Amino acid sequence: MLCKLSDVKTLLGINVLDTSLDDKLTLYIKMASAKIEGYVGYSFGRKVYTEELQSVNNRQVVYFNHFPIQSVSEVSINGEVINDYKILPKYAKWGGLYRGNGWTGDYFTRGFTHDVVSGAWEIKGTYTAGYYLPNDVGYVEGADDSLPMDISTICMELVELKYNFEINGAIGLKSHSEGGISDSFGDSSSDVGLSEGARKILDEYVFYGVA
């Protein structure tokens, strides 16, 4: 889950000792988390992965399939372990490892651009990617390897909208008129979604692929 139940209850003004709504709020958090991860296109959770990749001609960055890379246990080319790579934030954010000598396999490199002939599946890596989530033991708010707070905030806001729908029979304020105080609310729980502001924040995390 991308935010804590205790934080949601504090936001909603619910006593942390009152557990009567815990199941429902937990479900809302899971739904909001799924909506956010569906928008960005991947899971934020921290896991260990082992995978093989093709060698790439004359490229100094090779991209694994999960991100952001937090640490690397082992990388090998053709079974030979190498250590001359670097985890640079601008690449690691999208699963990339930098190697000054380039990621080339045991074959002839023909040019300075990406070879039209795919290399063999020679690169193997074991690495940790993703973030500590708010309910994980290793989570430290603000730490580089923990879920960014802006994502947790969006998750809490989505839960708040769902909760207000239950309480008020409406999703939330859609329009407001100062004169006679005329408010307009949504009429269906399906209206609970990502606001324009939330989408702008999440766009920084959306994965569009690597060229």
Query: What pLDDT is stored for residue 32 in this prediction?
Result: 96
162 φ, ψ (degrees, to nearest 5):
-60, -40
What integer pLDDT is reported at residue 113 of this predicted model?
Answer: 61
pLDDT at 76: 95
| Average pLDDT along the chain, 211 residues, taken 10 residues at a time | 97 94 96 95 96 84 94 94 96 95 72 64 94 97 96 95 78 51 47 81 87 55
- pLDDT, residue 34, reads 95
Predicted pLDDT at 183: 45
pLDDT at 56: 78
Structure tokens at 74: 């082992």
- pTM for the model stands at 0.81
Q: What is the pLDDT of residue 108?
A: 58
List the domain boundaries for the chain. 5-43+152-205, 47-129
